[in-house]
Chains A and B, each alone.
Chain A
Amino acid sequence: MITLSIFSNIHQWLLGVLPDESTVHVVELITIALVYLALFALTGLFLVYAERRIAGFFQLRLGPNRVGPFGLFQTLADALKLVSKELTGTVKADKFLYHLAPYFVIISALVTLSIIPFSQEIQVFDIDIGIFFFAAVSSLGVIGIFLAGWSSNNKYSLIGGMRTGLQMVSYELSIGMAIVTIVLLSGTLQMSQIIEAQRHTWNIFQGHISSLIAFMVIMIASTAETNRTPFDLVEAESELGAGFHTEYSGMNFAYFFLAEFINMFISATIIVVLFFGGWLSPFGITDGIPFMGAFWFILKVAFIIFLFMWFRWTFPRLRIDQVLKLEWKYLLPINIVNVVFMAFLVWMGLTL
């Protein structure tokens, strides 16, 4: 749970107001859930804005700059439009699964948020198998996308959903192996301890070339996992309409869209925790100052997200056979060799 002093004050106050400790616990959990929901709806909106703005600069345009200062409220207006829209659907769709699918995607994205350490104090759920929990829960999202593709009763949606199945199941393997490489180095699965193990040197420098290879692999695999552009053949606009969410409109579509951006945020946070020392400041320059942990964390995450966007506006889309070739012929063999190499480094004590 969050261990900030202000929160312990609230905890004491709630203990005084409410009858017993279990009620206080439930109230606190619900409050945190609501705060996180609100916070990440805003984060998603901001990321959509940032994506469009950055895309503009890459393409010698300006991007949205009309609504509010620097166009900051553009995506808010878009979201309001989506909320007010009618929920349409196909006549022969499998209604139950059709309406269930977006919740699978958004809930699996939101559950993963609970293990993210924003700073030393701000972490909702510091479970001792944290990174394993991430790998397990984030895989649930693929079911939602698959259900959406299947239940829409539309051939483009189905092709999009099938491609998702292929792609996400393949690339999860690479993410898992890259995580294993770093777990070997840190010797723990708990998020806070992985960060604590990097206090003298970040993991990306600790493991020499092995860490660097793992970082490159996880960057590529995360891009594929979040269905972003070099690997966006799930929704390849020119071939499949909008892929698995062709038949969705209004809020159901917005859930998919928001989940995509929250997933990108989560992938970036996992990379920051594994390789760039989470909330640790470089060389410990701001160790004594409160709340600087969250600042450094957000800064690093923003940089990784910028890298994702940079990929998106640079590389052309891969074909489905190229996607599978990249995973099974290149990333996976490299990764397996890399895990063995990292194990050797750790065994011989050659890490920094």
Chain B
Amino acid sequence: MRDPENATVEVELPADFDDFWAAGLADCASDPLDPVLTEMPTLSTDTVIVYDLRFTSFGGLRIAGWYAVPRAGTAPYPGLVTIPGYISEPTVPKEWAELGYAALAIAPRGKLRSNDVFNPGYPGLLTHNIVDPNTYGYRGFYLDVVRAVEVLLDRPDVDNLRIGLQGSSQGGGLGISTAALLPDAIRCVAAGAPYLCGIMTAPTLTRSYPYEEINEYLRIHPKDVDRVRETVAYYDGLNFAPKVQAPTLIYLGLEDDVCPPETGFALHRTLTCEKTLHTYPHCAHHAGLPDVMRVVEDFLAEHLTPGR
């Protein structure tokens, strides 16, 4: 019988972990963000203005997002970056703008509208160049979310002291990595059913995708297991977690077959910041949806004070 709360999930911390990510951030910084916003009248409503946003990220790739701001109230608004799941596309974040946020739903590389140059597909992203941390497909993907925050930091209609991150599954995992890479910029993180934590342990606990992609990769490349382990250690949320300074909300489904709860508990244990954990018995990857969204909204409102 599994005991997710007390299970051991270990990830080795690469000696050059900080240098690795510092180099990636430095590479990004060499390119200007060059954000371009285009108003989308048909997507806008009486209460929300929607823009198509494009900006430059790691490797010079142009990355897309949907940016939605409230018509009511007075800028600057609190900023919120919403991060998509593995197989989902970012939806236009009107519901967050209606709550008073300047909300950016990012489409990191490989997602539609950001896949002209890099398009590993789904399945595919999780194991794309997984034997080499420097060329692993997720490297630019992680940095794209960082760059999305930097876009908001530069926006005159965003209060750069009130920027938060929200997402579930992949969005939860990248909320953790982004908050760790930008500890001075992020005020709070809401991370549901976090993916990309305990990356080598998770495929031993489930046969569900996307982690099953790793089992499939190793089925035909069994000799690569050490190189895969070495690569994903640079991307594992458990190695980012101690660097997160922002208050963090974690919520888990205790029967999550996609992101095993063992890995979510391990993330919570590893976080040293102010943290809150909600667990939902009999829930799988929805991790308490739809009711948990009220918890998320309250958490974000407490730290980002929309409507202030």
Instruction: Indicate whether A and B interact.
Output: no
